[in-house]
Structure 1
Amino acid sequence: MPIEIKMPALSPTMEEGKLAKWLVKEGDTVSSGDIMAEIETDKATMEFEAVDEGTIGKIAVPEGTEGVKVGTVIALLAEEGEDVSSVAEAPVADAPKAAPKKDEAPAAKSEPAPAPSPTPSPAPAPAANDGDRVIASPLARRIAENNGLDLGSVKGSGPNGRIVKADVEAAKAGGAKPASAPASAPAAAPAASAGAKALLDERIPHTIEPLSGMRKTIARRLTQSMQEAPHIYLTVDVKLDKLMALRAEINSMLSKKGIKVSVNDMLVKALGKALVDVPECNVTFAGNELIKYERADVSVAVSIPNGLITPIVQDANGRSFSAIAQATRDLGARAKEGKLKPEEYQGGTASISNMGMMGIKQFTAVINPPQATILAIGAGEKRPWVMEDGSLGVATVMTATGSFDHRAVDGADGARLMAAFKDYVENPLGMIA
């Protein structure tokens, strides 16, 4: 009896996803751990591994299909000794049907072709190429696309000749052949939906771009946040000179280990310490209940292609600056590669978003539900400042704005958190004392 391969739940909140690409075809033999497909969730494009061994007897959901519900049968796997042709003819309940390709009439139903006679295996191709399909990781494809590289000319070093990041980087350095434009006419742009037509000004040149699963989730969650959580905003100016001086000393000591602490790493710890000092802000509003956390797990906003993700620095209040630096580098790199595990970006007790590196002086951030607190960090800049002795001088100052869910956090408690955060940044030895 064939084994049903079902659409997996790749995150606790995932209800449906897009079957972005199949990396196997009918007739291929797979073993446990082999990469079978790329699935686009609400947060990232992730690889789907085989659990059982066998032969792909039938692909029930074609690649590119959106809105595939978790638990839907997407393929059938023939076990050892099972007739693959009988599996290919087996019906699959509720499987999404493939839409006919543009300018292509539906093919007439025909009897299955007889199995071909064995032929000698051809010599290995220079790239992981199966007909017109190149087997490559999502990151490798993205890098190749951004650099105009033709994946067909890249030799893969991964399993079964799969092209990985290192292969594309090496090809880029060695001058691989640029991707050529297809000979056929470009595909027609997607037609505007009824909602888009109602807003569209057709006098202006335009394109219609369907939202990715991630962008849909961002839109839904932030709309929910602004509609359900009454935001209150509190702003403070924070002097950075002592923190920057301490950072220089720390980095001098860590240079031999190849670790470099950023200002943002130190701000993550300052927020973590402040959240523990003011636990009234380290909470989640849950209807008739209030969840209070005893540890500060700080979500750090990271911009990635097509969206935003918030990997979590666990125990930000208790970790050293160097440990936070290593965690943020690792999480940030894997976030951009789409390699984060769900537990690494879902949850957390509060968030921090730093746009100072982009030159933004001040902004307000939308609360990341179900959290109740998010801190928006602006750029540090030289400003006139009244010194402790009353004299007028120049200091490096940044503006920080806290957004709080007023259902859970009173304004006075939010003000206490901002004061605690300011004190840790302006007196950073308090974070390591």
Structure 2
Amino acid sequence: MPIPVTMPALSPTMEEGTLAKWSVKEGDKVGPGDVIAEIETDKATMEVEAVDEGTVGQLLVDEGTEGVPVNKVIAVLLEEGEDKSALDNFDPEAASPAPKKAAEEKPEPKEKKEAKPEEKPAAKPAAKKEEAAPEKPDGKRIFASPLAKRIAEDKGIDLAALSGSGPRGRIVKKDVEEAKPGTKAAAASAGGPSLTPSVDPRAFFEKGTYEEVPMDKMRKTIAKRLTQSKQEIPHYYLTVDCEIDELLRVRKELNERAPEGVKLSVNDFLIRAAALALKKVPEVNASFAGDNLLMHKHANVGIAVAIEGGLITPIINKADEKGLAAISNESKDLAARARDRKLKPQEYEGGSFSISNLGMYGIKNFTAVINPPQSAILAVGAGEKRAVVKGDELVAATMMTCTMSCDHRVIDGALGARFLDAFKGFVEFPATMLM
């Protein structure tokens, strides 16, 4: 039987992608691990590998096609011994979302059903209702096994709130049994908030005085996610000034002594300081998860990188366990591949904290929007000479303003202040980062 090949979900948040390029043609033989296509998401281009063995029978989506939904059939493989005639009566869309029933869904014996004829009238309408595919708030179909639907109905669980672990994301018995009774889908649709403004700006300008430029996928994703962040996360802000003269002195000395190829930046010190502060004040290193908080065991620090058309935040995982040189090399590598859109989703999704540094542009201070599922982001301004009081004297010092945006559901004011105090301590006395 022909094997459908579907558009893969390359990350937990991916809903659609662009089929940039086919690496195979009809008639080619492929096996597990062979690269068959290149897929573009809003922030990266990734190679897709075959998971089955066979011959490419048909390519259903043309190169360059945008907006291909996850799980849509994009190609069909022929099994050994099959030729193109096997495709004559084969419906790939029907074959894809309906995998064979698992053993858990064994049909009730016919004799047992006939032994209770009085149950048939009540059972039939319910069965029809279960067979009708439910939909998510955004109109997308939900694929779930009949048994999973029955259990969900009994437990009062909204299937739209669950992620399926079965073939092609199908919701199965295990997924429903592990969900809490009464689980409901989030109020916002899976597609996120609307991008249509409440007031159309075109109403205020004469036609011909402006040019409409369609937003690309990255710009749409940024608009959607950050609008959702400001709507759902109760932001508040804490600001602290850090003196960085000692940090600049240590940086200069280390760079003079560093091996060839290693050049530490101020940002490398800030990443290290933030990571150590997260270990010192671990309550900040958390994510909001409804009735629970996810307390992260490592400081996975994201660094905002400006790229053409937007920005991306690659993550330095376990930054608390890495020295300045390792952080420097990794951040440079991530930033370079981010600009080339060669990052893997696991390299820019998730994380437990972020730093956005606009100091190189001369920005003194600013506030940043939290990037879910994180609970805080630190906005770093430029270092500049200011008059400060030391003892009884007025002296010049290089000061840097840092403003942390906090999710009040996770981080209270006093907790955020404790974190910034720890961060400031590491920045102003960089030798403590080596202890």
Q: Match for 1:260: what amino acid? A: K
The structure with the largest helix share of the pair is: 2
8 Å contact kept, 1:353–1:365: yes
8 Å contact kept, 1:17–1:213: no
Runs of 4+ in 1 over 6 A off after TM superposition: 193-197
8 Å contact kept, 1:55–1:79: yes
Q: Mark the runs of 5 or more structure 1 residues left unpaired by the alignment.
A: 96-192
SS at match of 1:380: strand
Matching residue of 1:401: 403
Return the alpha-carbon distance in structure 1 between the equivalents of residues 340 and 422 of structure 2. 35
Return the alpha-carbon distance in structure 1 between the equivalents of residues 231 and 57 of structure 2. 48
8 Å contact kept, 2:44–2:344: no
8 Å contact kept, 1:234–1:401: yes
8 Å contact kept, 1:73–1:92: yes
Structure 2 counterpart of 1:314, from 314, 317, 328: 317
Matching residue of 2:365: 362
SS at match of 1:215: helix
Matching residue of 2:166: none
Matching residue of 2:71: 71
Residue 198 of structure 1 and its aligned partner are, at CA, apart by: 4.3
Matching residue of 1:420: 422
Return the alpha-carbon distance in structure 1 between the equivalents of residues 34 and 216 of structure 2. 26
Structure 2 counterpart of 1:231, from 235, 247, 255: 235
Residue 375 of structure 1 and its aligned partner are, at CA, apart by: 0.3
- Whether 2:346 is the aligned partner of 1:373: answer no
Matching residue of 1:131: none
Matching residue of 2:107: none
Q: Match for 1:303: what amino acid? A: A
Residue 69 of structure 1 and its aligned partner are, at CA, apart by: 2.3
Structure 1 residues 192-341: aligned runs within 5 Å: 198-200=200-202, 201=205, 203-256=207-260, 258-341=261-344
Residue 330 of structure 1 and its aligned partner are, at CA, apart by: 1.8
Return the alpha-carbon distance in structure 1 between the equivalents of residues 67 and 222 of structure 2. 16
Residue 289 of structure 1 and its aligned partner are, at CA, apart by: 2.0
Q: Match for 1:354: what amino acid? A: N
Task: State the percentage of identical aligned residues.
Answer: 56
8 Å contact kept, 1:72–1:94: no
Structure 1 residues 144-163: aligned runs within 5 Å: none
Q: Mark the runs of 5 or more structure 2 residues left unpaired by the alignment.
A: 96-194
Return the alpha-carbon distance in structure 2 between the equivalents of residues 89 and 210 of structure 1. 41
Matching residue of 2:47: 47
For normalisation by structure 1, the TM-score amounts to: 0.70
> Any idea what the Cα deviations from partners look like across 1:222-250, whole Å, max 9, x if unmatched?
11111111111111111111011111122
Q: Match for 1:360: what amino acid? A: I
SS at match of 1:255: coil
Larger mean CA deviation between 193-202 and 423-432 belongs to: 193-202
Q: Match for 1:246: what amino acid? A: V
Return the alpha-carbon distance in structure 2 between the equivalents of residues 26 and 207 of structure 1. 42
Residue 263 of structure 1 and its aligned partner are, at CA, apart by: 0.6
8 Å contact kept, 2:2–2:86: no
Return the alpha-carbon distance in structure 1 between the equivalents of residues 199 and 241 of structure 2. 45
8 Å contact kept, 1:275–1:417: yes
Matching residue of 2:102: none
8 Å contact kept, 2:54–2:78: yes
Larger mean CA deviation between 225-234 and 46-55 belongs to: 46-55
> Any idea what the Cα deviations from partners look like across 1:252-276, whole Å, max 9, x if unmatched?
22233x2111110110011111122
Return the alpha-carbon distance in structure 2 between the equivalents of residues 196 and 229 of structure 1. 21
Matching residue of 2:394: 392
Q: Match for 2:7: what amino acid? A: M
SS at match of 1:379: strand
> Any idea what the Cα deviations from partners look like across 1:15-43, whole Å, max 9, x if unmatched?
32222333444344555544432222243
Residue 430 of structure 1 and its aligned partner are, at CA, apart by: 0.8
Larger mean CA deviation between 7-16 and 22-31 belongs to: 22-31
Return the alpha-carbon distance in structure 1 between the equivalents of residues 22 and 212 of structure 2. 26
